Amino acid sequence: MKLPIYLDYAATTPVDARVAEKMMQFLTMDGEFGNPASRSHRFGWQAEEAVEIARSQIAELVNADPREIVFTSGATESNNLAIKGAADFYRKKGKHLITVKTEHKATLDTMRQLEREGYEVTYLEPQTDGMVTVAMLEAAIRPDTSVISVMFVNNEIGVVQDIAAIGELCRSKGIIFHVDAAQAAGKLDIDLQALKVDLMSFSGHKAYGPKGIGALFVRRKPRIRLEAQMHGGGHERGMRSGTLPTHQIVAMGEAFRLAKLEMHDEIKRITALRDRLLNGVKDIEQVFLNGNREHRVPHITNISFNYVEGESLIMALKDIAVSSGSACTSASLEPSYVLRALGMSDELAHSSIRFSIGRYTTEEQIDHTIKIVHQAIEKLRAMSPLWDMYKDGVDLNTVAWVAH
Amino acid sequence: MAYSNKVIDHYENPRNVGSFDKDDDTVATGMVGAPACGDVMKLQIKVNAAGIIEDAKFKTYGCGSAIASSSLVTEWVKGKSLDEAQQIKNTDIAQELALPPVKIHCSILAEDAIKAAIADYKQKHGG
């Protein structure tokens, strides 16, 4: 077995070889390298056709109209465009926005920026299982609420929000509803004909496409308007200027086409692997699965190993590529803000690891992971003064710690 | 995070992990840090009649640098008098382990652990 084992598919996925193959056909002189905006020759026409096919492939995965898909540089840009664009366009309706504390930084930081620009934002605290309820949102809605943003699948704990119910609420109140679906596309069924979602963000590289490409769904009926955040040649119907990167778009299209074809088999396979992993570690003492058990994708599993510190655990798991918290926050020494928002103690949040399983994960890799996890926990607990205290029946909350 | 080879060595082969009986008169314990901050170090020293640290053991909850820092100081304090051990500086620990700036607090914690253990010894022995 090749080491290290990659179990960080929620951070990024490798590009599927079939996708890379396709992508390479749109780069060189021998390929279709044209600018899709060139109207005067066949190089441009061919590139434009390839872009439109990809647009349809993306729309098909989520049951949308291709004309509702706007290409961006990734889900971060999609979130920025959706939230800022809608807040700006509908600012006469009101300057109050609602989101959730467990959202991705691309949403939270965008909201922070809007606060600096004079908007008011309510950050909802989810339940301890990570779920946001319709009642919570209903209580937070004001007459001047213009946009609500809730992610479909949480990137750290994998919980799936009830987007259908939240959509109904937003539509009934005339509020624009944005959903960050970066971790959801290709992981669960999304039907935008049925869901009352106005704006939805997608990422290429979370679904076996390349990095640097994403899309934003912008509903046509009822029509949602956005203030552009990137100005220039008026590409993407004026919503996002900039020359379209044909090779990346084609690749994302191919990745989404494959996702539609293979998603259901893949979910079954990944669920079995996830269950195998959970079964393999469940006999370790003081181990907790984070997030709602029922409403979750099988790809993301977040586990707390009490009395073991996360970073040293990651070191002990050096042959396994996992993360504590999301990749975007693991450069800092702060415990995951997502886990903190669930009301988890700092120390338990510090002791948490995200295992994310994907297309190329094998049973053998999961079995090896289980073995390494057992060894690591045993080694680190033998070294942990907190574990000793727990075993001696000391309540750690009653100890007078010297914080530093 | 990229660790130095010395940190990795101490992390993978920690020296002197364990505990002494805290009620033993020759044993002193220093426990510093807080779980909420992500590191807790427990350093125990065994001091002979001549006031020399004969042995030391540690247990640490924390990152690789915290484990390496505590492992290193158990080696350093052995054979030293309490006064000599008191002189160990966090900068020496950080330099020896080539700790990156974000991990300097681990060396500070290790220094604090030595001082806490010495203070415990002095308190136990009325001095």
In our burial notation (b when 16+ CB lie closer than 10 A, e otherwise), range B15-34 reads: bbbeebeeeeebbbbbbbbb
In one-letter notation, the amino acid at residue A71 is F
Query: Pick from A310, A333, A385: which is nearest to B40 by CB?
Result: A385
Q: Which chain B residues touch A345 with a CB distance below 8 Å?
A: 35-36
In this structure, what DSSP letter does residue B36 have? Answer: G
Q: Which chain A residues touch B61 with a CB distance below 8 Å?
A: 307-309, 383-387
Cis preceding-peptide flag for A222 (omega within 30 of 0): yes
Q: Taking the domains of chain B in order of start, what are their residue ranges?
A: 5-124
Give me the catalytic one of A53, A328, A372, A386.
A328
Q: Backbone dihedral region of A163: left (phi > 0), alpha (psi from -120 to 50 degrees) or beta?
A: alpha
Q: Cα separation of B114 and B31, whole Å?
A: 9
pLDDT at B36: 80
Cis preceding-peptide flag for A36 (omega within 30 of 0): no
User: CA-based Rg of chain A, rounded to a whole angstrom?
Assistant: 22
Q: Cα separation of A206 and A10, whole Å?
A: 7
Q: Cα separation of A89 and A83, whole Å?
A: 10
Cβ <8 Å between B60 and A335: no
Q: Cα separation of A126 and A341, whole Å?
A: 7
| Look-up of token digits 């053991």 | B57
> How many CB atoms within 10 Å of residue A186?
26
Q: In CATH, what class is B5-124? A: alpha beta
Active-site annotation holds for A170: no
In this structure, what DSSP letter does residue B99 have? Answer: -
Q: Backbone dihedral region of A213: left (phi > 0), alpha (psi from -120 to 50 degrees) or beta?
A: beta
Cβ <8 Å between B60 and A383: yes
Q: Considering only CA atoms, which of A152, A13, A164, A174 is closest in space to residue A92?
A: A174
Check CB contact of A347 with chain B, cutoff 8 Å: yes
Residue of chain A nearest B3, judged by CA positions: A315
Give me the catalytic one of B22, B24, B25, B37.
B37
Q: Considering only CA atoms, which of B113, B18, B34, B21 is closest in space to residue A399?
A: B34
Residue of chain B nearest A344, judged by CA positions: B36
The phi and psi torsions of A264 (rounded to 5 degrees) equal: -70, -40
Query: Pick from A315, A388, A403: which is nearest to B37 by CB?
Result: A403
* Percent of chain B whose predicted confidence (pLDDT) is above 90: 85
Confidence label for B1 from pLDDT (cuts 50, 70 and 90) = low
pLDDT at A324: 78
Under a CB-based contact definition with an 8 Å cutoff, are residues B108 and B88 in contact? Answer: no
Burial class (CB in 10 A: 0-12, 13-18, 19+), A19: buried
Query: Pick from B3, B11, B35: which is nearest to A346 by CB?
Result: B35
In our burial notation (b when 16+ CB lie closer than 10 A, e otherwise), range B93-119 reads: bbebbebeeebbbbbbbbbbbbbbbbe
A-B contacts (CB, under 8 Å): 82
pLDDT at A325: 56
Q: Cα separation of A95 and A297, whole Å?
A: 34
3-class DSSP string for A88-156: HHCCCCCCEEEEECCCCHHHHHHHHHHHHCCCEEEEECCCCCCCCCHHHHHHHCCCCEEEEECCCECCC
Note the pTM of the prediction, 2 decimals.
0.91
Cβ <8 Å between B66 and A384: no
pLDDT at A403: 64
Q: Which chain B residues touch A403 with a CB distance below 8 Å?
A: 34, 36-37
pLDDT tens, per residue, chain A with 404 residues: 899 999 999 999 999 999 999 999 999 999 999 999 999 999 999 999 999 999 999 999 999 999 999 999 999 999 999 999 999 999 999 999 999 999 999 999 999 999 999 999 999 999 999 999 999 999 999 999 999 999 999 999 999 999 999 999 999 999 999 999 999 999 999 999 999 999 999 999 999 999 999 999 999 999 999 999 999 999 999 999 999 999 999 999 999 999 999 999 999 999 999 999 999 999 999 999 999 999 999 999 999 999 998 888 888 998 999 987 544 444 445 778 999 999 998 878 888 999 999 999 999 999 999 999 999 999 999 999 999 999 999 888 888 887 66
Q: What is the largest CA-CA distance in chain B?
A: 45
Interface ipTM: 0.92
Q: Which chain B residues touch A353 with a CB distance below 8 Å?
A: none
Average model confidence (pLDDT) for chain B? 93
Cβ <8 Å between B40 and A404: no
Q: Cα separation of A296 and A253, whole Å?
A: 26
Residue of chain A nearest B70, judged by CA positions: A383
